[in-house]
Amino acid sequence: MIYICYGITKSASTFLYQLTEEVLRASGRPVIRLGKPFRKFDSVENYFDFIDGELLVSIERHTGGADIVLKTHGPLYDDVAVQIANGAVLASASIRDPREIALAMIDHGARSRRWREKAFVEFTNVQDTFNALDIQIDLFRRWAELDQIKIFNYNEICFNTHTVVTAIVDQIGLQVDSAQVTKSFSSKAIIGQFSTGKAERYRDMPLTEQKLFLERYADFYARFPFDTLESRKVAVKQASRALHPRGGLGQALSTVLRLLRR
């Protein structure tokens, strides 16, 4: 079985990918981690910029039909959409409030400049993020057209994780205790690409800047509610203490821990 986790950038897509793999493991079904020629030998995830029908055929042939979860931020190709629509491939999509995505992208840019890395260095203010967000949201809309795709938002994935796990279990058709899966991520160090994990972070953005997002993506906000009761509770708790983004060393530790778990 092939399961594709598509996600908008900074939408907890890596965590959703990890949860999906863990659901399969908890059910007793081993999960394939690709190496050469698809990925580097030390890769911690099956990530691809583009997933098309040809790639799926190659992976299916390589794995012999074993269970595998793939991750992407890329487009949904027509031949893949057909396979998802007929149930041959399963898929999910993760989304997040664009205001929060922008703040996370700016954080990542500052972190990359500090650690002399290349990713996201072009993002220094909210205006810098609009072009990338336009592209990401357009890509998401294509994925969201398919009823067979399970859509999860950032607050659900991070702060109501057990319901997301239950939905994935039901989608695949397994018998798994959601608590067993979520327990595997009791340490945030295990979660890839984890930054601040702050609920309803858009409240940190000046109202004048928020207005730019609410107007630009009005139809997106109208269709997808982002705040949840659980995220509100978490936001209230977090307001009493300072939160700091995970830096370069923290990301490195996460990678090492994920390699060890692999």
Residue ranges and CATH numbers for the domains of the chain are: 2-261 (3.40.50.300)
Please report the pLDDT score of residue 185 as a whole number: 85
Please give the structure tokens belonging to residue 182. 């979520």
**Token match 């979520």: residue?**
182
Exposed (0-12), middle (13-18) or buried (19+): which is 96, by Cβ within 10 Å? buried
> Which of 70, 18, 37 has the alpha carbon at shortest distance from 192?
18
Tell me the C-alpha distance between 65 and 58, whole Å.
11
What predicted TM-score, i.e. pTM, was given to this entire model?
0.88
> Which of 64, 68, 75, 74 has the alpha carbon at shortest distance from 90?
68
Order of strands across the sheet with 150-153?
A: 68-72, 2-7, 89-95, 150-153
Please report the pLDDT score of residue 238 as a whole number: 87
HSE at residue 136, side-chain half, CA atoms within 13 A, is 24
Q: Which one-letter amino acid corresponds to residue 255? A: T
What value, to the nearest 5°, has the Cα angle with vertex 113 and ends 109 and 118? 75
Q: What integer best gives the mean pLDDT of the chain? A: 89
**In this structure, are residues 97 and 12 in contact, taking their beta carbons and an 8 Å threshold?**
no
Q: What is the DSSP letter of 88?
A: S
Please give the structure tokens belonging to residue 172. 């695949």
Please report the pLDDT score of residue 152 as a whole number: 97
Largest Cα–Cα distance of the chain, in whole Å? Answer: 54
**Residue ranges of the chain whose pLDDT lies below 50:** 249, 252-254, 256-260
